[in-house]
């Protein structure tokens, strides 16, 4: 059968791609004039909201003035200014910026930087990066090798570098010995055990999303989790990479997700998504200054992309940052996020709603077939996608994810633009409730 489009996309059986033509604030209009509420900001991307003229203008002005220089030859004012602005916000000492084009590139860059730091320190045996299951750090092969996402890994498993993993903190599905109603942080202790089992002299870094994104659905680790992770990393000379691709730039109600764990500072922070808020593909690695100096003194960072340190990406990042500051959107996300979670918790009356969780404007509903047993729908039921389709039919875009229970499991994520109003949140949650009811009624 001839396709109705020449675009090659992820396969989505039965999904008709509405054609988007215009967007503003939390709304997207399709070609039929239908107004949709973008309750997911795409994939938790559009932190500043759609159609912000000053960001488009900053982008156009920079493209007209200086669109491109190669980052290994020349620098530019927007890149320098963005580095200073992010350094003032990120929980890192003397942060330095490596600007890239997306989250997966940021993960690749962070992993390679951690490796080069080990080499520069005279510890060439440190080649492993410990990651958590579930987790997601990107689709490229290096990033996928440290991602605990069975559905995305499956076909590529034989091609992935073998890296050690530990269980992620995931209270709703935790079955670790010693963990019951009260969390014993056994998942956290697994880091020390794994480093010891692998041999501390072989481990370069540990990578974690401060709040777990699409692979587990907005899971917030316990209060003491990262203090203990930091202690363990320090004890064994292992670097701590915080993947803030989803949590960075205000999504959780703080500038960075790690800001919720006061006093804990990672060594390397990655970010993306909200950094350019979808106006351009962008991502960033920020690293402790003394570590970067070490690599530079040892001969420099052997890494880079054609589009690293792109002036227009930097100009957009800077315009996004200034917009978030001027409209106080980060604090606002903290406040409206409380309303969002309170409203979502009201959905637990629906029998298929197993758990509701999140922080700030990063939230998820975990949907299950049997609530008492926490049993997921079979993977073939594609329940998250069905709910997404029902919500779209009712005018609301949510983000469908899952696969966290050995490939099964359904998560509906919300991550709207940070300026969303409480009235719009009410509308979104009402529609989501109807969508869950409709999709699960037929199942």
Ligand X SMILES: Cc1ncc(COP(=O)(O)O)c(C=O)c1O
By CB under 6 A, name the binding residues for ligand X: 43, 102-104, 107, 136-139, 209, 213-214, 243, 245-246, 272
Around Cβ 328, how many Cβ atoms within 10 Å? 12
The C-alpha atoms of residue 210 and residue 360 are separated, in whole angstroms, by 13
Q: How far apart are CA 156 and CA 116, in angstroms?
A: 26
To the nearest whole angstrom, how small is the minimum distance from the Cβ of residue 45 to ligand X? 8
> Which DSSP helix (H) or strand (E) runs through 362?
strand 362-367
CB of 43 to ligand X, least distance (A): 6
Q: Shortest distance, CB of residue 4 to ligand X, whole angstroms?
A: 26
Contact call for residues 267 and 115 (beta carbons, < 8 A)? no
Residue 134, preceding peptide bond in cis (omega within 30° of 0): yes
Q: Which lies closer to ligand X via its Cβ, residue 150 or residue 272? A: 272
CA distance 310 to 265: 27
In whole angstroms, the minimum distance from the beta carbon of 199 to ligand X comes to 27
Smallest distance, Å, CB 146 to ligand X?
A: 10
> Between 352 and 363, whose beta carbon lies closer to ligand X?
363
Q: Which is nearer to ligand X, 102 or 221 (CB)?
A: 102
CB of residue 326 to ligand X, shortest distance in Å: 26
Smallest distance, Å, CB 73 to ligand X?
26
CB closer to ligand X out of 193 and 306 = 306
| Residue placing its CB nearer to ligand X in the complex, 103 or 433 | 103
**Nearest to 243, CA basis, from 221, 268, 277:** 268
* 3-state DSSP assignment of residue 67: coil
Which CB, 148 or 354, lies closer to ligand X? 148
- Cβ-closest position to ligand X: 103
CB of 235 to ligand X, least distance (A): 26
The residue (of 134 and 138) whose beta carbon lies closer to ligand X is: 138
> Least distance from C-beta 359 to ligand X, angstroms?
14
Sort strands 283-287 and 353-359 into parallel, antiparallel or unpaired: unpaired
Q: What is the DSSP string of 24-52?
A: EBTEEEETT--EEEETTHHHHT-TT-B--
282 vs 376, beta carbon nearer ligand X: 282
* Other Cβ atoms closer than 10 A to 80: 13
Smallest distance, ligand X to C-beta of residue 343, A:
24
Q: Are 99 and 306 in contact (CB under 8 A)?
A: no
- Pick from 285, 339, 334: nearest CA to 308: 285
Instruction: Decide whether 192 or 412 has the Cβ nearer to ligand X.
Output: 412
Coil, strand or helix: which one is 359?
A: strand
What is the nearest approach in angstroms of ligand X to the Cβ of residue 28?
19
Residue 442, helix vs strand vs coil: helix
- Cβ closer to ligand X: 97 or 439? 97
Shortest spacing between CB 135 and ligand X, in angstroms = 8
Q: Which is nearer to ligand X, 243 or 366 (CB)?
A: 243
Query: Could you give the count of Cα atoms lying within 13 Å of 275 in the half-sphere of its Cβ?
Result: 34
Question: SS3 of 120, please?
Answer: helix
Residue 66: half-sphere exposure toward Cβ, Cα within 13 Å: 13
Q: Is 230 left (phi over 0), alpha (psi -120 to 50) or beta?
A: alpha
Q: Which is nearer to ligand X, 138 or 417 (CB)?
A: 138
From the list 316, 334, 277, 250, the residue with the least C-alpha distance to 46 is 277
Q: Please tell me the distance from the alpha carbon of residue 302 to that of residue 111, in angstroms, as a whole number.
A: 12
Distance CA 270, CA 375 (A): 34
How far is residue 144's CA from residue 153's CA, in Å, rounded to a whole number? 7
Distance CA 317, CA 287 (A): 17
């Amino acid at each position: 059968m001839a396709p109705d489009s020449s675009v090659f996309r992820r396969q989505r059986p039965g999904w008709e791609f509405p054609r988007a033509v215009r967007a503003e604030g939390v709304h997207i209009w399709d070609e039929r004039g239908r107004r949709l509420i973008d309750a997911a900001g795409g994939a938790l991307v559009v932190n500043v909201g759609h159609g912000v003229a000053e960001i488009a203008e900053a982008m156009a002005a920079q493209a007209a003035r200086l669109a491109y220089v190669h980052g290994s030859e020349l620098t530019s004012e927007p890149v320098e200014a963005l580095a200073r602005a992010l350094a003032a916000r990120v929980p890192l000492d003397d942060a330095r910026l490596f600007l890239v084009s997306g989250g997966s590139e940021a993960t690749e860059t962070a992993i390679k930087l951690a490796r080069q730091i080990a080499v520069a320190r005279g510890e060439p045996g440190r080649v492993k990066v410990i990651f958590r299951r579930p987790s997601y750090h990107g689709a490229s092969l290096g990033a996928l090798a440290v991602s605990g996402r069975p559905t995305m890994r499956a076909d590529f498993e034989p091609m992935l570098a073998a890296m050690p993993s530990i269980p992620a903190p995931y209270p709703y599905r935790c079955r670790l010995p010693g963990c019951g109603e009260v969390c014993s942080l056994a998942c956290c202790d697994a880091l020390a055990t794994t480093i010891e089992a692998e041999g501390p002299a072989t481990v370069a870094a540990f990578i974690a999303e401060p709040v777990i994104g699409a692979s587990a659905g907005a899971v917030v680790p316990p209060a003491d989790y990262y203090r203990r992770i930091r202690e363990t990393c320090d004890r064994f000379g292992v670097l701590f990479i915080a993947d803030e691709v989803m949590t960075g730039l205000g999504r959780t109600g703080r500038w960075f997700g790690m800001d919720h764990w006061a006093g804990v500072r990672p060594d390397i922070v990655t970010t993306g998504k909200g950094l350019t808020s979808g106006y351009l593909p962008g991502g960033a690695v920020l690293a402790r200054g003394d570590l970067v100096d070490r690599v530079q003194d040892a001969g420099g960072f052997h890494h880079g992309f054609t589009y690293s340190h792109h002036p227009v990406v930097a100009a957009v990042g800077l315009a996004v940052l200034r917009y978030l500051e001027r409209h106080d959107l980060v604090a606002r996300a903290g406040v409206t996020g409380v309303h969002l979670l309170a409203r979502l918790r009201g959905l637990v009356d629906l029998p298929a709603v197993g758990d509701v969780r999140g922080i700030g404007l990063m939230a998820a509903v975990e949907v299950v077939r049997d609530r008492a047993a926490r049993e997921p729908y079979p993977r073939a039921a594609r329940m998250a996608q069905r709910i997404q389709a029902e919500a779209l039919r009712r005018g609301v875009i949510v983000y469908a994810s899952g696969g966290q229970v050995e490939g099964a499991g359904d998560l509906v994520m919300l991550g709207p633009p940070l300026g969303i109003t409480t009235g719009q949140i009410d509308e979104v949650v009402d529609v989501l409730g109807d969508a869950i009811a409709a999709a699960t009624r037929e199942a």
